[in-house]
Structure formats: structure tokens, C-alpha cells
Amino acid sequence: MPTVDRVRTTHTSSDPDTPLWRASQAFRLITLVYAISYQAATVDNYVNPRLSWVLVALMAVWSGASALVLSRATLPRWQVVLADQVIVIALMASTRLVADYDWYSTRQTLPTTLWATNAVISAAILWGPRGGIASGVVMSVVSALVRDRFDLDLWSDATAPVLLSAGLALGLASNTARRSHEELRRAARSAAITEERERLARQVHDGVLQVLALVRRRGLEIGGPAAELAELAGEQEVALRVLISEQAVPRSEHPGSIVDVRALLNTQASTAVSVSTPADPVLVESHVARELAAVVATALSNVELHAGAEARAYVLLEDVDGELIVSIRDDGQGIPAGRLAAAEAEGRMGVSKSILGRVESLGGTAILDTNEGDGTEWEIRVPRAGGPA
């Protein structure tokens, strides 16, 4: 199926984290500008200003290199993120090489807190909230060790809250992006599969089903041995129509997936069957949709086999107050009194099992209205939840 393959290639080749990586690296470069301006403003207070500029130059080189690699994924990102943690910690520790105790104990480290946050953000995007919080804790502890400042005065030193908040927020954003991407990929693939199956169903309907219907009608008109052929053609037409309706629902890996029941019912339309459904999607759990479609297929099968060669059937789907109502009516010969009981006694379970049994399993009701010579009408009511009442 070319359509399905195209969708699979398009969605699996993209990285849901790419926008986050690019935004975070833009933030890295912005924080580098702030760190350089802070360096220019404070360098006169350092005991080793020349070394401090060398370290700031290394900071700038690493900022550009890591931004390029992480945004484009030219190397395994986990390696770059681990290197990011080590380099940031080393630069924070180097503060003691360029400043005295009175300076570094009361101010930011050489790489500012804002710039050091980039390591936390990278860990959060790659490993989620746990990785982000873990990196934030490590950076907070290193900052406290370097500045010899362990206290709970968050008003005067907000390093830990800033780092932990950034790790948590970006980690949650990364997880959300991945989940959304996966849901979009599954939805696109499901839509492509459904579209392809509907296309095949239309081709089968325009070809095989119409030929089988023609064979059935002409065989019944000719009579004699041709009537047996007509009956076989009618049975195969119904069986093929049921198969198409079942295939209209993608087999989801997740139980309880939601599908549009209209797709299953519309595949059962033919020259002798009219199907009317609401304009808006009627979304129910997949097992409810399949069972409801099987009920309709069985009822239409009985119309094909017993209502007469010229009989037409009409299917109406309604969605009313959390309840699905399906009406299946035909203008055929109707069912003689006692015929259903006799059929069940003979072991023919089309009505008792395929219709009544399925509807009961869904927690619904099925009402049959028929008179000999006046056609039949089924009214099927099924709750959306699809469970026993």
C-alpha cells in the first residue's frame, strides 16, 4: 500500500524533540551573551583576569559547538549531553582559580547560573523530568560547594530553585512532545490504512459485489438449477460484504481504541441497500463498532436471502443522548408468524445468535417488527459504552 508506506516514512523519520533542541540551543547562545557581559563587568574583581578570559573563551567555543551538534544531531546526543554536564561542572569549579573567597562566596560562579542552566535543559530534553531534576540537583550541589554556601535562604540564592524548575519543566515538555508525536503518527497511519481499505472496498463493490448481485437476480429469474447458483452467489456476496465491513476498522494495538462506526456501515451500501448516517463522525470503541456492523450485516443477509429478489433495504444510524440507534428496514415479503422459532429449532441461529446475542452482549436491545407481506424492520439500540446493562 503506497499510501501507508508514505505516511510511515514521513512520520518516523522526524524527531519530536527537534523543535525543543533548536529552541534550547538558541537559549544557550543568548545566555552566552549574558555570561560574557557579566564577565566584562566583573573581571576587574578577579585575582586572575587573564585566565578568566581564557575560560570564558572556552565557554563560548563549547556553546557554539554543542548548539550545532545538538540541534542537528550529528553525533549521538547522549554523548554531547554528558560532555555538557562535565564541562559545566569544570567551568563552575574553575571559579576558585580566578577569584578569591570574598568574591566567589557571595556571587555567581564564573559561568553564570543562567548559562549553567543549559546543561540541565539538555538533560531534561533527552531523559525527561527525572534526568532534568537529577542534573539540576547536581548543578545546585556543585554551585554550593564551589561557593562554600550551604543554606536554605532561597530569597538570597535562588540557584537550586531555578535549576530544578528548568529541569522539571523542560522534562515534562519533552515527554509531552514525544507522546503527542506518537499519537499523531498512529492517527496518520490509521487514517492511511482506513483510506486504503475504503478504496479497495469501493473497487470490490464496483466489481465483484455487483457481479454477484447480478448473478443472484438473474438466477432467481431463470429458476431451476440456476436458482441454486443464485443462492450461492447471494451467500458469497453477503460474506464478502461482511469481510469488507470488518476490515474497515484498523486492528489497533490498544484495546478500547476509538473508531468511526459510519465507515463500517457505509461499506455495506449497494444497489439494493441504502445507508444513511449522520454528517458528523460517530465515534465509539472499536469492538462496539465491529459488533454493530456484524449485526447489520446479518440483518442485510436475511434480506438478501429471504425478502425477495426485488426487495430493497434501508439502514439508518442515529446518535441520540449517548445511545446508538440503528434501524434496518426492508420492503420485502416479511417473516411469517412462527418462522423465527422454527428456524432456531432447526439449528439456524442467524437471528438468535448473530443479532440478538451480539446486541445483548453490548448491553442493548433489539426489536423486530414484521408482518407477512409488509417487510421487516429491526430497531437496534446500543449504549455508546458497549457494556452489559
Q: Are 382 and 322 in contact (CB under 8 A)?
A: no
Cell of 128: 525527561
Give the CATH H-level superfamily of domain 255-389. Histidine kinase-like ATPase, C-terminal domain (3.30.565.10)
> Residue 3: pLDDT above 50?
no
Find the mean pLDDT for residues 12-28.
79
**DSSP string across 87-98:** HHHHHHHTHHHH
DSSP 276: E
- Render pLDDT for 278-303 as a digit per residue (tens, 0 to 9): 988 888 888 888 889 888 888 887 78
Q: Are 287 and 327 in contact (CB under 8 A)?
A: no
**pLDDT cut 70: percent of the chain above it:** 79
> Residue 5: pLDDT above 70?
no
pLDDT in the model for residue 206 = 58
CA dihedral 348, 351, 354, 355 (to 10 degrees): 180
pLDDT in the model for residue 6 = 39
pLDDT in the model for residue 2 = 38
**pLDDT cut 90: percent of the chain above it:** 26
Least confident of 74-78, 311-315, 316-320: 74-78
Q: How far apart are CA 389 and CA 382, in angstroms?
A: 10
Which pairing describes strands 365-370 and 323-330: parallel, antiparallel, or unpaired? unpaired
Q: How far apart are CA 198 and CA 269, in angstroms?
A: 12
> Residue 88: pLDDT above 60?
yes
Using a cut of 0.85, tell me whether the model's pTM lies above it.
no
Q: How far apart are CA 106 and CA 146, in angstroms?
A: 11
Find the mean pLDDT for residues 17-38.
90
- Render pLDDT for 228-278 as a digit per residue (tens, 0 to 9): 787 777 777 666 666 665 555 555 445 567 888 888 888 888 778 889 999
pLDDT in the model for residue 340 = 60
Segments making up each domain of the chain, as ranges: 2-183, 255-389
DSSP 153: -
Q: Are 84 and 67 in contact (CB under 8 A)?
A: no
Which residues are paired to 378 by β-bridges? 328, 368
> Residue 119: pLDDT above 90?
yes
Helix (H, G, I), strand (E, B) or coil at 85: helix
